[in-house]
Amino acid sequence: MPSRKFADGEVVMGRWPGSVLYYEVQVTSYDDVAHLYTVKYKDGTELALKESDIRSQSSFKHRKSQSSSSSPSRRSSSRSRSRSPGRPARGRRRSASQSREHKDDKKKTIQETSLALPVLVLFKLSENNTRRYNGEPESTEKNDTSCIILEQKLKPDLEVKRVLEQYSLRSRKDDKKKEEIYSEKKTLVAVKPIEKVPTKTKELEFGGRIGTFTLIFLLPATVFYLLLMCKQDDPSLLNFPPLPALESLWEGRVFGVFLLWFFLQAVFYLLPIGKVVEGLPLSNGRKLQYRINGIYAFILTAAAIGVLLYFQFELQYLYDHFMQFAVSAAAFSLALSIYVYVRSLKAPEEELAPGGNSGYFIYDFFTGPELNPRIGSFDLKYFCELRPGLIGWVVINLAMLLAEMKIHNLSVPSLSMILVNSFQLLYVVDALWNEEAILTTMDITHDGFGFMLAFGDLVWVPFVYSLQAFYLVGHPTTITWPIAAAITVLNCVGYYIFRSANSQKNNFRRNPADPKLANLKFIPTATGKGLLVTGWWGFVRHPNYLGDIIMALAWSLPCGFNHILPYFYVIYFICLLIHREARDEHHCKQKYGLAWERYCQRVPYRIFPYIY
């Protein structure tokens, strides 16, 4: 096995994954097992690179000296032969010496980098030309890199193109030609990876090994505690419920119904209806395909439930055996977590999640080592995220509504129950309607599939999120029409913020050149992705969380103020999203470095304007 070539602390030139951009970086550590160097870019971004992607600084000396003289535009135009943005318009006259210099430079560039590239462009990013993104003079994006080499062939990625448009000073005449080149190349060349190559997870989240070990027991215990509390006449916090007999928690028939439900949803997922879309590029540049048919699954489920009700099936069976269903779902999610953990042991390293691959059993079991565990084209994580749990939540709510009517002998459900059911139905239908948007969320792009998501999707979501409806069955609450109207307005405001913020970001990530987003401004980053600084993402750094929290409050209010139990969801959700926001900030800081700091300066509040 060859020994490492570069020492810790050494300043070298590191290639940006998926491109031939070379930046000055410092080696911070080396992973003997994965043979990867962790390097830090000048703007703070940290990535893991292979040795072949690192060059000594001496091989770039010539270019560095060049980059310190003359204007960027002049330099790029004098050196470039490519049809890249830096290339002068065809027909522009050049002096013989310029032309000679150009040829020499090209030859040297190729020798220095040892890359068999047909055409190379070299230019330096200066403060002058970075001051122009979207015509916004006050927020500049200073790039500290000394030099960047661009290969014409590796530039079809639209996001890279956008950044180049922001940065490079070139004649407008070139634009049209460049557009043609890009559209031509886009069809030929696969999009290059923009995420880092997975390596061993070093920074442990969720309190590390002790934290995750605790959570594996604490999460199920919390669910059982909440369900037992809800069944009590007086669900005050300190009025602990008596523990049920163990044998009362399990019933084979209930487990059978749960399995039937899970596999019915799996069948709906596999139906060849709905479009197939690509996810974001993985670390190896590959894009997975996903079938978008969640809303059809929901409609089919609704039809199936309608048929059951027509044939007098008592849906309140769910209410009567609620705890047993929760136990069945928990047992199933545990088995699923074990399965995905075991299969991850044989998974190629590139398929492991950036955050769930620490080498510590408990931690990896909890966070999930594999990013996208699939059986053929059946994506376990994607399926569990939106189908059995989320649709199950709506069915449980409906069962609670019917149980309320039956137990309290009502001809129509209570106003509170109608509000809770309607608000949460809207939330679920929205998630399914906008199913594609989930492909850009942290759960899909960053987190592995382990106990956390399996339990979260299959147990926590359906059995904890339906707590308000469950509570209302045993604790009838009367609200007046004006109060109901005020709560409805609150829910609509939250929903509007939540939906428009998520759509804005999702559309921007999918197609930054979308004309509908032309009025939005963004900060370019070294990765080629932009960070929106106007619109919702210029209001607070996580406007979608703000909308979600407002809705969570609107879901609890119909339960009145007699007990804190129905407010568990909103309290837990604020904690969850504050923690999630901190995790996301950390990842974004690593990904975007200085650009992220500038974004934070520009948008100082995280979730709640003027508060947090």
| 277 counts as binding ligand NDP under rule CB under 6 A | no
The least distance separating ligand NDP from the CB of residue 553, rounded to whole angstroms, comes to: 13
**Rounded distance between C-alpha atoms, residue 487 and residue 508, angstroms:** 32
Query: What residues pair up with 148 in beta bridges, in sequence order?
Result: 123
| 544 counts as binding ligand NDP under rule CB under 6 A | yes
| 542 counts as binding ligand NDP under rule CB under 6 A | yes
Instruction: For CA atoms 318, 322, 326, 327, give the dihedral sign.
Output: negative
The least distance separating ligand NDP from the CB of residue 498, rounded to whole angstroms, comes to: 6
Query: What are residue 25's phi and psi, to 5 degrees?
Result: -135, 165
> DSSP class of residue 458?
I
| 441 counts as binding ligand NDP under rule CB under 6 A | yes
Comparing CB distances to ligand NDP, the nearer of 75 and 529 is 529
| 537 counts as binding ligand NDP under rule CB under 6 A | yes
The least distance separating ligand NDP from the CB of residue 402, rounded to whole angstroms, comes to: 25
Residue of 251, 584, 590, 605 that binds ligand NDP (CB under 6 A): 584
Contact 22, 147 (CB under 8 A): yes
Residue of 271, 309, 442, 564 that binds ligand NDP (CB under 6 A): 442
- Angle value at C-alpha 71, between 66 and 74, nearest 5 degrees: 85
**Rounded distance between C-alpha atoms, residue 469 and residue 398, angstroms:** 9
Residue of 405, 490, 553, 588 that binds ligand NDP (CB under 6 A): 588
Stretch that binds ligand NDP, among 201-209, 252-260, 544-552, 561-569 (CB under 6 A): 544-552
Stretch that binds ligand NDP, among 8-16, 120-128, 362-370, 528-536 (CB under 6 A): 528-536
Query: What are residue 276's phi and psi, to 5 degrees?
Result: -110, 125
Specify burial of residue 576 (Cβ count, 10 A radius: 0-12, 13-18, 19+).
middle
Comparing CB distances to ligand NDP, the nearer of 438 and 473 is 438
> DSSP class of residue 412?
S
Residue of 162, 443, 475, 550 that binds ligand NDP (CB under 6 A): 443
Which pairs with CB-CB distance under 8 Å and at least 24 residues apart come from 111-117?
Answer: 112/59, 112/60, 112/62, 112/63, 113/20, 113/22, 113/55, 113/59, 113/149, 115/20, 115/151, 117/20, 117/151, 117/152, 117/153
| 509 counts as binding ligand NDP under rule CB under 6 A | yes
Residue of 366, 545, 555, 567 that binds ligand NDP (CB under 6 A): 545
- What value does the CA radius of gyration of the chain take, rounded to a whole number of Å? 28
Which helix (H) or strand (E) segment is 367 a member of? helix 361-367
The least distance separating ligand NDP from the CB of residue 586, rounded to whole angstroms, comes to: 10
| 510 counts as binding ligand NDP under rule CB under 6 A | no
Comparing CB distances to ligand NDP, the nearer of 147 and 532 is 532
**Rounded distance between C-alpha atoms, residue 54 and residue 122, angstroms:** 18
Stretch that binds ligand NDP, among 80-88, 337-345, 437-445, 557-565 (CB under 6 A): 437-445
Tally DSSP H helices, then E strands, for the chain.
23, 13
**Rounded distance between C-alpha atoms, residue 101 and residue 123, angstroms:** 15
| 429 counts as binding ligand NDP under rule CB under 6 A | no
The least distance separating ligand NDP from the CB of residue 576, rounded to whole angstroms, comes to: 6
Residue of 24, 53, 457, 548 that binds ligand NDP (CB under 6 A): 548
**Rounded distance between C-alpha atoms, residue 396 and residue 389, angstroms:** 10
Q: Total number of residues binding ligand NDP (CB under 6 A)?
A: 22
Residue of 326, 531, 551, 565 that binds ligand NDP (CB under 6 A): 531
| 43 counts as binding ligand NDP under rule CB under 6 A | no
Contact 601, 594 (CB under 8 A): no
> Which residues of 492-539 form beta strands (DSSP E)?
522-524, 530-532
CB atoms within 10 A of CB 312: 6
Comparing CB distances to ligand NDP, the nearer of 57 and 441 is 441
**Rounded distance between C-alpha atoms, residue 522 and residue 527, angstroms:** 14
**Rounded distance between C-alpha atoms, residue 144 and residue 165, angstroms:** 18
Residue of 580, 590, 602, 608 that binds ligand NDP (CB under 6 A): 580
| 468 counts as binding ligand NDP under rule CB under 6 A | no
| 324 counts as binding ligand NDP under rule CB under 6 A | no
Sites of contact with ligand NDP (CB under 6 A): 440-443, 498, 502, 505, 508-509, 529, 531-532, 537, 542, 544-545, 548, 580, 584, 587-588, 599
